[in-house]
């Protein structure tokens, strides 16, 4: 068939990113899924979003809806055990940190206390990360089981919202995963690098402003206040721009998963073609002779 056709420090930046992620999870991501004229498909997509949000508020909600009750104690045991271990490590970290700060600067055991505090802090972060992994696994499992046997753009978007790149894996576009993590890791490195530079010059400026002779900036007075303030502001601005870039890559990862989800079943048969070619037209077919007209022909074959 043919047809024609202001000033933020590192902790505040992390809080802003966390607030942005929470806002996206609750308000923006559910709206990414465009409407469709197929009523049955629309109901399916809306229910997928409901299960996603319900599993966020109450882990295990999706497993109960899918009638896989045996999974609920597994997820809760994992989250509870990891969170409890993280709490214990955090208590030990605070204890060692407090004793480290209480020691005089010339105490030979001070560095040992600092090393112990750092180890407990790292263990705490690992246990909390494991608890978060169990939580995200419960949400992902609920969405995947509900959409079992049917490729869902909503599921792809939700998975990429939870873990960047997971939606691309769900769509079979594995080559995009290193691209996404390359962008995220690059911007994360830039955030950390510029934040350390910002803190460095901020501390030097503070020590230079302070008239206490016992406190010296690391440049030993070789840089003026204006120079220190200029570099401090430059690092801060670059850090904030890097944080914005990190957020943009994260959002694009979700949008890409959603678009690929809709195109997953797109007809790419060889018989489907769109061809543009030059053509000669004779506007007066009934006359013995007429001047031909030159133009462009657009042909769609399906």
Give residue-wise pLDDT tens across range 111-159. 888 889 999 999 999 999 999 999 999 998 998 888 887 888 888 888 8
Which pLDDT belongs to residue 4? 37
CA distances from 47 to 51, 66, 142, 155, 265 (A): 6, 12, 12, 11, 21
pLDDT digits (tens, 9 = 90+) for 69-96: 999 999 999 999 999 999 999 999 999 9
Per residue in 240-258, pLDDT (tens digit) is 999 999 999 999 999 999 9
How would residue 175 be classed by pLDDT, with cut points 50, 70 and 90? very high
Domain around 22: 1-29+173-278+296-302
Same domain? For 301 and 178 the reply is yes
pLDDT in tens, 1-20: 444 343 445 555 555 555 55
Residue 291 resides in a domain: no
* The domain boundary residue, chosen from 116, 150, 184: 150
C-alpha distance from residue 186 to each of 181, 192, 202 (Å): 8, 10, 24
Regarding pTM above 0.85, the answer is no
* Residues in a beta bridge with 193: none
Residues 6+ apart with CB under 8 A from 302: 1, 271, 272
**How many domains in the chain?**
2
**Total residues found in the chain within this entry:** 302
140 and 208 part of one domain = no
At residue 53, the pLDDT reads 86
- Is there a single domain that holds both residue 71 and residue 50? yes
Residue 75 token pair: 């997820």
Same domain for 134 and 185?
no
Q: Are both 7 and 41 inside the same structural domain?
A: no
Task: Note whether 4 and 51 are same-domain residues.
Answer: no
User: Can you tell me the mean pLDDT for 206-214?
Assistant: 65
257 in a structural domain = yes
Q: Is 164 within a domain?
A: no
């Amino acid at each position: 068939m043919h047809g024609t056709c202001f000033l933020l420090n590192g902790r505040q930046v992390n809080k802003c990113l966390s607030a942005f992620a929470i806002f996206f999870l609750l308000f923006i991501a559910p709206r990414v899924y465009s409407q469709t004229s197929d009523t049955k498909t629309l109901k399916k997509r809306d229910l997928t979003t409901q299960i996603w949000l319900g599993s966020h508020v109450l882990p295990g909600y999706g497993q109960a809806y899918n009638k896989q009750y045996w999974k609920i104690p597994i997820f809760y045991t994992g989250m509870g055990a990891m969170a409890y271990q993280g709490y214990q490590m955090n208590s030990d970290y605070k204890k060692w940190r407090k004793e480290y700060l209480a020691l005089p600067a010339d105490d030979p055991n001070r560095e040992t206390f600092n090393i112990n505090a750092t180890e407990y802090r790292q263990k705490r972060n690992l246990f909390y990360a494991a608890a978060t992994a169990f939580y995200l696994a419960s949400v992902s499992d609920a969405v995947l089981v509900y959409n079992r046997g049917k490729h869902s753009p909503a599921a792809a978007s939700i998975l990429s919202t939870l873990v960047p790149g997971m939606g691309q894996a769900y769509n079979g576009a594995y080559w995009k995963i290193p691209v996404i993590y390359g962008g995220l890791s690059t911007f994360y490195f830039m955030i950390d690098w510029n934040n350390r530079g910002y803190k460095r010059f901020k501390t030097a400026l503070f020590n230079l402003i302070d008239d206490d002779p016992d406190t010296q900036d690391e440049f030993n007075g070789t840089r003026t206040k204006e120079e220190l303030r200029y570099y401090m502001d430059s690092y801060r601005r670059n850090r904030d721009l890097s944080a914005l870039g990190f957020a943009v890559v994260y959002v694009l990862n979700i949008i890409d998963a959603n678009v690929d989800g809709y195109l997953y079943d797109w007809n790419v048969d060889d018989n489907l073609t769109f061809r543009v070619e030059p053509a000669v037209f004779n506007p007066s077919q009934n006359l013995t002779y007429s001047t031909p007209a030159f133009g462009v022909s657009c042909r769609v074959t399906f």
